[in-house]
Structures are given as structure tokens and as C-alpha cells.
Amino acid sequence: MNAKEPAAIAAIIPTTTPSTWLGVMGGGQLGRMFAQAAQAMGYKIAVLEPAQDCPAAQVADRHFLADYDDEVALAELATLCAAVTTEFENVSSHSLAFLAERTFVAPKAACVSIAQDRIAEKNFFTDCSPKSKVLPAPHQVINSAADIDSVPENLLPGILKTVRLGYDGKGQARVTTLDELRSAYADMQGVACVLEKMLPLAYEVSVLVARGVDGEAVVYPIAENVHRDGILFTTTVPGPNVSDDCAKRAQDAALSIVGQLGYVGVLCIEFFVLQDGSLVVNEMAPRPHNSGHYTMDACVTGQFAQQARAMARLPLGDVRQHSPAVMLNILGDVWFDGETDQGSDQMREPAWEKIMGLPGAYLHLYGKAEARRGRKMGHITFIAPSLAQAQAQMAKACLLLGIATP
């Protein structure tokens, strides 16, 4: 150990004189919930985000209104903050590296850059597989239309995904034939893509894991996810279909992957559970995740408080779940009654007072000024003594909000 190492791992303790600042790149709802959790621990929060009235800036102590690659703003953020994190994976890895030359950054740029690129991510998962015991789905990279000619038939039907920037079902297309693949690739404007074989999926799980700078890692209970139109609909914990064996294999794989990545902070890894019970690793998000929102109300330490602990180099928090939980995403659709005779949507305010009258319901709205169909506006977590009771309350909320129940 050299002389600099003790200082490098010293905890960043919240103080009032002078105030201890933590920074976050990105102004969305994840940044907002991170800010609120870190402020509850005594920190002041600075957000760097180019949008004026963003969810995170509404609660932050300071807002750097600047582009993510603005080096003047980045330098000022680094000077102010004892540590900086990111709330989304598409922030420039160059910006994170620039910050890391001036302050502590978690997760580091090298980790985020892997999650930004599906090819790099799949290669990394494959390299990890001797220890993690899981592989990604069979796939092939498509960099040009000519590459489609070499696609083997056993990769179809499949899902064509852009290598970068796709999320919530965007940048994806299901294809069953080579002609459909060519058409889908053309629709994606010829950007680099990866074709993944469609597998006999039973359900999807996500594993939330946190790792400290000292190598200590903790893993949360397994979350079972249901999607609608490519967007997360519900997360249920404990997962009704998840066996103890499946949960352990997924948790062990996640712990192995986060260790091999050398990651610091909260990381979410999504797995497919196939009909034969085997696991396939899908993708990872280098940040707190939508499927981990249940931890805010159902676990001793929520994922955003955990992120603050990891980046501040504090001991990681207790991940025990104290109540069964169901998390329901709230999209902008619930603000609309449907099509009017004039062909435009009739807006209404959802009956939040009725939602908050449901026992065990925790409403979280993100402060977004405009409701749009398909836009994440908030979530509700339902906790109860039993999973059946939490699911029943979720079903009541769906009826109140006009959401079709599963």
C-alpha cells in the first residue's frame, strides 16, 4: 500500500461547516431521488444538467445548467463536490474521466462505457462467464447491410437492437426472417446493431448489487419484472416464480460480475430465466434502476441511499427486505381519459387522494411538468404483510387509475 491509498479510501463524511457536497450528472427522476436520499443523510447536492426545469434540479441545492461535456462546468462541479456519480449511462465517458482527474467518481468511466455499448457489454459478460456461470443470448454484430447475408438461420427469430442509446423498448425490433431483418436494419438508419436470438423466456429478473471501493459487495432480494410495450410495468419482490435456487444463481452471478468489473456504486443486472430454468444475462445499468425503486419503501436501505454510501465510501447499508412489495410504474397515459370527438386527448388529474388512501401505498411523483403517453411520471410501491395483500392493493390502484390489470 502506498502513502496515498489511505486518503483515497477515506470516507466522505457529511458536515455542515463547510457543507459536504456530492454531485450527480443528469437531471432526471433518478437524480432527483438520489438527491433526496443523500440530503436526508446530510449532504448538499449539485446537479449538472442542460435542461432548466428538470426533476433533479427542483430539489438540488445547486444546478449547473450546462451540457454534459462542458469542461468549465465540469471543472467547477469537481471543485465543489467531494464525489460525483451519474444517474444515466449515456453520459459521456470522456466527461466522467475528466471529472475523475479532479475528484472521486463512482462508477468510473471505464465501467459506464461498457454499459453504453451492447457489443462491449456482451463481450464483457462472455469474459466473465467462467466465474459467473452465465452467458448472454446467442447474438451477432451487424455493422452493415452486407453482414446480414452471414446471419445464421438459428438466430431467427430474433431481436435487432442498436448498439448504443436504446432503452425502454426504443431502438429495438423483432424480426423473424432475413427480409424483416434487412427492413428493420434499414429503419435504424444503418447504425451498428446486434441481433439477439429470441429464447424460450419464462420471466425476467433483475438483481440490484452494490459494491464499495474496498471491494465489499451486497446484493438485494431478486426482483421479478413484467414489461408492457418495452417499458417496465411492475416489479414484484419476492418474485412469485423465482425459486430459491434461481435466486441464488442470479445473486452469485451478479456478485461475480460486479467484482470482475471493479465497480463502485449500485449496479442493476437483468437476467432472463428460460423455461428450462437456466439463466441468461441480458444487460446491466450502471446506476440505480427502475426495478429497484421498491427498495425505497420495502428495504432497510433504499437503492439511492446505498448509492450515496458507496460514492461517499461509507459502509454499505443493510439490504434486508422488511415487507413484500409490488412496484407499479405510472406513465403519462393515466392523465388522459382517451380520445375526444375532436380527436385530441382529454386530460385529467389522476385520483391521487384515493391512491394514498390505500393501505401500504407509497406514491412517488417525479415533478415532470408535462404528462405524455409512455413517459415515466412516477411510481407507486405497495407493501403489505403478505405478497398477496400487496398485489391486491396494486390491482385496486390500477382500477382507480384506469390501468389494465395483468
Annotated binding residues for ATP, written as ranges, equal 118, 161, 166-172, 196-199, 204, 227, 282-283
Taking only Cα atoms into account, the Rg of the chain, rounded to an integer number of angstroms, comes to 21
Please provide residue 215's backbone torsions phi and psi, each rounded to the nearest 5 degrees: 95, -10
| Peptide linkage before 286 cis (omega within 30 of 0) | no
Q: What is the rounded CA–CA span in Å between residue 70 and residue 81?
A: 16
- Which cell numbers in the block locate residue 286? 450502471
| Position 132, amino acid | S
H-helix or E-strand spanning residue 231: strand 231-237
H-helix or E-strand spanning residue 25: strand 21-25
Binding site residue list:
118, 161, 166-172, 196-199, 204, 227, 282-283
Q: Which residues contact 399 (CB under 8 A, 6 or more apart)?
A: 405
Q: Which long-range contacts (CB under 8 A, 24 or more apart) does 220-228 make?
A: 220/292, 220/295, 220/299, 220/303, 220/319, 220/321, 221/247, 221/299, 221/319, 221/321, 222/246, 222/247, 222/250, 222/251, 223/291, 223/292, 223/294, 225/270, 225/291, 226/406, 227/169
| Peptide linkage before 107 cis (omega within 30 of 0) | yes
Strand 336-339 versus strand 345-347 pairing type: antiparallel
DSSP summary character for residue 227: E
Return the beta strands (E) in 69-119 as ranges.
Answer: 83-86, 104-105
List strands edge to edge, sheet with 83-86.
62-64, 44-48, 21-25, 83-86, 104-105
Q: Which of 80, 40, 91 minimizes the C-alpha distance to 287? A: 91
